[in-house]
Amino acid sequence: MPIKSGREHDAVRRIGVWHVVGALVASGAVGGLLAYNFTQHRDANVALAKDWVIEGPPCPTLTKAQFEAKGYKAPKSFDYDDLIMARKAGHASCSDIQQGGGKGVFHDQACQFTSPAALIITTRKGEFFYTPEVGQPATVYVHDGVPKCVLGGKFTLKGEG
């Protein structure tokens, strides 16, 4: 095996340094593009979160046994982001919203219901039962598989109240 001279050894070291410098520059460029993209969408994400974050009293909750004993049913169901949303009546609209009021990196699911009367929300963490009054809008937020239901919402269909 030939022994490298000092010049050859220095050339190898310089090439290694340039690889490191190139990798750092490329990483910085990718990081800059990601940060730029995130900040460009942040204002839209904050506005969307404001439309979907509804303040209101919590929806009445029941256990599965109580729900069934009272004869509640929720025959209208749909799958949204691996969640099953079932309701007795009315209409629904859902959106993914960024956590932290639109400023977060991760998202939660939000669904607004015009007049559900009864809700069953099924997530990877189980089934959750809510009974808003007839004619009462409701909004459901799901964070980490756990829903939170509040009375109130902004979603309506033309011709409805």
Write the DSSP string, 33-91: HHHHHHHHHHHHHHHHHHHH----PBPPEE-HHHHHHTT----EEEEETTEEEEESSS-
More confident residue, 161 or 20: 20
Contact 150, 59 (CB under 8 A): yes
Instruction: Give the model's pLDDT for residue 160.
Output: 46
pLDDT of amino acid 18: 62
Question: Which domain, by its residues, includes 82?
Answer: 1-161
Residues 80-109: tens digit of each pLDDT: 999 999 999 999 999 999 888 888 888 899
Count of domains forming the chain: 1
Q: What separation in angstroms does the CA of 38 have from each of 33, 34, 44, 73, 117?
A: 9, 6, 10, 42, 38
Q: What is the pLDDT of residues 111-135, one digit of tens each?
A: 999 999 999 999 999 999 999 988 9
Average pLDDT over residues 49-61: 90
Please name every residue paired with 110 in a beta bridge, in sequence order, or none if there are none.
95, 141
The first and second tokens of residue 40, run together, are: 């460009």
Average pLDDT over residues 34-61: 78
| pLDDT of res. 60 | 97
Q: What residues form DSSP beta bridges with 140?
A: 111, 149
pTM equals 0.72
